[in-house]
Every structure is written in structure tokens, then in C-alpha cells.
Structure 1
Amino acid sequence: MSRKPLLLLTFLVLFAGCHQNTSTASKPPSAAKTFTIRGRVLSTDATHVTLDGEKVPGFMEAMTMEYKLADPSVVSELHPGDRITAKILADKEGDNFGNVRLKDIVVIAQARPDYKPPVSYHVPTAGDVVPDFKLLNQSARTIHLDQFKGKVVLMTFIYTRCQLADFCPRMSHNFSDIDKALAADPALYRQTHLISVSFDPTYDTPKVLRSYGGAYTGNYTNEKFLHWDFAAPTEKELPAMTQFFNVGVTPGDNKSLTHSLSTVLIGKDGKIVDWYPTNEWKPEDVLVAIKKSAA
């Protein structure tokens, strides 16, 4: 019997609650909204999967919940113990969500390795050697990661059109705070570098990245970008880079991109020191790790 392969992507997306409220239940649902969830499969039946879901910032604490499968044919690929991510479709009913179902289910770790997924995402781990990815920066110059060996590099992934305050804007504000803190210590400043990588190279041209970056450094058109690069890989190299740093990206509504977060601290030897896969890290904690790596 042929099996329908599951695409392998990783997402962590902020979204609102899905519990129905009796005061809004009579209101007609609007168009379905799309969110993302991550968790571990506990059980399945012909049309549902019970998922031990992780905490979703701004929505709910970690909890176990049964979800209807939008495409029940994928159930044969799911096994208890599998770790998955999936898109959630939910109808907006007043201030809440109902008719919750899962689609585009992604197995990111198998309990029963009975098939090889078409795409494999790497989970950044301390000690991993970072490939020498090449990017085009805000000054239309090609940079590559190996050129920063000898410095401690803090790198995150963003796109300039992101409207979710707790995602790309939060990463860029955090980097701005870190950049200012490092500038206050000239010796440490010389030993470090920041890179914001866009996964939207078609829109995020050098001109767009220059304007975006200047706004976050606070120097606008006077910014020289000596310590913080804003850059994007080519369309060809983008998949390899996002897969290595575990960044899942898919088209969303109104030309937006649904994506996960990934911030990584790279040591002077070009190896990963720490990886921050959520938006919960604090600049002051990362600064401590930077100082330790630079020492």
C-alpha cells in the first residue's frame, strides 16, 4: 500500500485560544485561521490524534488534547512517541476558536523509524561545526560565516515584513539591546559580531535590509554596519541554511511567512555554543554567554 509522505518542517508560532465560549457560540464562524503546534503523539484512531502539546506562548500552557485530522490518510505514518509539528486550522467564533483540526503534520523525531522523510532538519547542538554559508548583506557585499572565525557570533533569523511583535521584531529589539551593551565594552565589542539573517531573500534586498537595520541600530542612514550585519542567503542556498539551523518557513496569509525561531551563539572556533529556539531568551542571559565565550 502506498503511503503519503509527510513533509518535514519545524514551526513554533504564537496563536490565540481555541476554547468555545457560550456567549459567542451562536455567532457564525469566519474564515479558518492557521496556527502551528508542536508535541508528542500519545495515540491515534482512524480520524484523530491525541497530542501531548508543548506550551504555546500567549495561548495555553502545555496540555494533552485530541485533534481531528484534516487528512485521515496520514494516520498510518504516526506512531505513539513520535514528535511532530502541524498546522492547526481553526474557525474564528467571536473571540474564540472552534472546529480545530490538524493538517500538514510533520514528524521531527520518530519513535518507529520506518520511513525516511524527504527533508531532514538539523537540531543545532553545542559543538556542531557551522557550515560556511554565504549571504548578501545590506551593503550588497557577499559575506560568509567563516570570515568571522576568531569572533563570537550571535545570529538570528528574521524577515523584514514580519508583523508578529513577539517574533522578528522582538528578536531585532533584543539584538539592538545586545549591540548597545557590547558597544559599552570596546574590548568585548571587537571580539563579537551580530548577524540577522533574512529567510525572505526575494523581498529583503540589500536596500530593504539597510533601511530595516538602520532603524534597529538607531543610526538610520548613518549606520556603517561594522558590528551588525543584516543579510540573506540566495534562494538556492536558503533551504540548506534554514534546515541546518532548524528554521521552518512556509507561506502564510497576505504574503506573510509562517516560521519558527532560531537564534544561535557561535564560538570563535566556528562551533555552536548555544541555541535558542524560542522567543523566551533574555538579552542579559545571552550577554553572559557571549562574555563567557569571548573570555
Structure 2
Amino acid sequence: MGFPAMSHQTRLLIRGGFFFTGWLMACLASAAPIMDFVPPPAGSYRLERIQPASEGAVLDADGRRRRLSEFTQGRVTLLAFMYSSCADPNGCPYALTVMHMVKSELEKLPETRGRVRFVSLSFDPVRDTPQTLALYGRDHSGAGQHLAWDFLTTRSRRELLPILNGFGQDVGVDIDKATGKPVGTYSHVLKVFLIDRQRTVREIYTTDYLLPAMVLNDIKTLLIEEGVRLK
């Protein structure tokens, strides 16, 4: 018998309550979230089907032109938008930290091989060239690990915008008020997308509840939904 679908708000309440928002913001600077509650066991709930994953042209770290769908289908995918020069501890660095922690736990499970993927897609195509992301990815993805982590960019902001719009990811270019010129940083709401094998978004995490244990159990839940037996 299937489990009832839970809304984002309901799952957040069950997993510890809204008082964790303030706690989480206080510990973001250290990028070391502390879990002092127990999330629902993986497979004890069902994730809603929210929307189709966006599509568009991207460049991989080798500079090859690809379709985003090549990286968002066939495996459970955790996708985050980022830019490599982001210094906001509440933004890209925090998402990167959480993804590292989740990936590290999944690497311990041989059953996840070939079934889970991590994707970081830059919204700064001018500075985040394939060459830049190749170096960035080398520092973050790790060698000898069985779970892929792809770092992608686009040829231009024009090609990026349809992808952002499809995911509902708002991004603004910060402008110097004195000169009216871009200052090289971006304003954006942190969003991380959990996508199933059929390219359907099943969860959207924002800063308030992007917690490693929650993300880990959600990924496991999708794997269990597919019939994968996790030890």
C-alpha cells in the first residue's frame, strides 16, 4: 500500500518544526549542520511529483555541447544552481557542503552505484567557463568515487535563462549603485532540486530545510520507490 504524499510544509513540521530555521541560519557560517532531531525513515513517506525538470543546452566540463536532460534522467539527481565565485555562506557554499555530506554517505552504499547523480549548474556563464568548472569540479567531485558529480555551464546567459525559468530559479545581477555596472555577484534564492529517473522534480530544497539527513532520506526514498533494496 502506498504512503500518503506530504507537502513541503507538512514534512518540515514533522521533521523538527519551524524553529529550526533560526538555528540553521546561525550555523550556516560554519557549514556544519547539526542534526538534533530524527527525520522520518527513508521509504516511510512518498514525495510528490512537482513539475518536469527543465531542459536546455549546456556545456560539460570538457566544453562539449550537451542537453541538460542527459544529466537529469535515468538516475536520481540532486541538482543545484551555483557560481564558483559565490562567497555568501548562506548560498552556494552551503549547498555545496550539504551535497558533499550527502554524497559521502551515499558512497558508502554500493547499491547506489549508477543510480544517483549530482549536478552543479552555473548561472555565471561569462566567468564559469568549462575550463574553470573543470578545475572547480576536480576540487569538489573527488577521484575514485562511484557517484558522478557533473559541473555544467552554458554558452551564454541567453541559453541559460530558459533553463532557469523552467525550474523557477530567480537570479539577479548585482549592480553598483554608483556606476550602474555589474559588480560580479548575483542575488538568488538558494534552491536545490531532487529529480527522479523520469526527469520529474520531486522536492525543492531552500535554505530553511536543506539539511543533509533530510536530503539523504529523500534520495533513499526515491531509490526504494524504484525497488532498490538498501542495506
The reply to whether residue 263 of structure 1 matches residue 188 of structure 2 is no
Assess if the C-alpha contact under 8 Å between 1:245 and 1:262 holds in 2.
no
Structure 1, 234-243 or 224-233: larger mean CA deviation = 224-233
Deviation digits for residues 115-144 of structure 1, max 9, x if unmatched? xxxxxxxxxx83422233231122222332
The equivalent residue for 1:237 is 159
1:136-195 CA deviation, whole Å, 9 max, x = no partner? 122222332333422111101111111111210111111111221111112213201110
Distance in 2 of aligned mates of 1:209 and 1:128: 28
More helix by share: 2
Specify which structure has the bigger relative contact order, considering alpha-carbon pairs within 8 angstroms and separated by 6 or more residues.
Answer: 2
The CA distance in 2 between the partners of 1:292 and 1:249, in whole Å, is 30
Question: Among residues 143, 146, 152, which one is paired with 2:66 in the alignment?
Answer: 143
SS at match of 1:256: strand
Percent same amino acid among aligned pairs? 25
Asked if the contact 2:53/2:199 (under 8 Å) is kept, the reply is: yes
Separation of aligned partners in 1, 2:145 and 2:215: 24
SS in structure 1 at match of 2:52? coil
TM-score by length of 2: 0.67
Amino acid at match of 2:54: P
Are the aligned partners of 1:157 and 1:198 in contact in 2 as well (CA < 8 Å)?
yes
**1:275 and 2:204 matched:** yes
- Quick one: distance in 1 between partners of 2:134 and 2:76? 23
Q: Distance in 1 between matches of 2:160 and 2:210?
A: 25
Question: AA paired with 2:132?
Answer: V
Structure 1: gaps spanning 5 or more residues: 1-54, 60-124
**Equivalent-residue separation in structure 2 for 1:198 and 1:266 (angstroms):** 18
Match of 1:155 in 2: 79
Aligned to 1:76: none
Matching of residues 1-295 of structure 1 within 5 Å = 126-147=49-70, 148-217=72-141, 219=142, 227-235=148-156, 236-252=158-174, 253=176, 254-278=183-207, 280-295=209-224
- SS of residue matched to 2:161: helix
Any stretches of 5+ residues in structure 2 without a counterpart? 1-20, 27-47, 177-182, 225-231
**Rg larger in structure:** 1
In the aligned structure 2, how far is the partner of 1:194 from the partner of 1:58? 24
Q: Distance in 1 between matches of 2:114 and 2:99?
A: 16
- Say how many residue pairs are matched: 173
Counterpart contact for 1:173–1:216, Cα < 8 Å: no
Q: Distance in 2 between matches of 1:207 and 1:132?
A: 23
Return closer, same or farther for 1:140/1:246 CA change in 2, 3 Å cut-off.
same
| Paired letter, 1:244 | G
- Over 3 Å counting, the alpha-carbon distance change for 1:240 and 1:225 in structure 2 is farther
Higher strand share: 1
Shift in alpha-carbon separation, 1:158–1:279, aligned structure 2, 3 A: farther
1:245 shift after superposition = 1.7
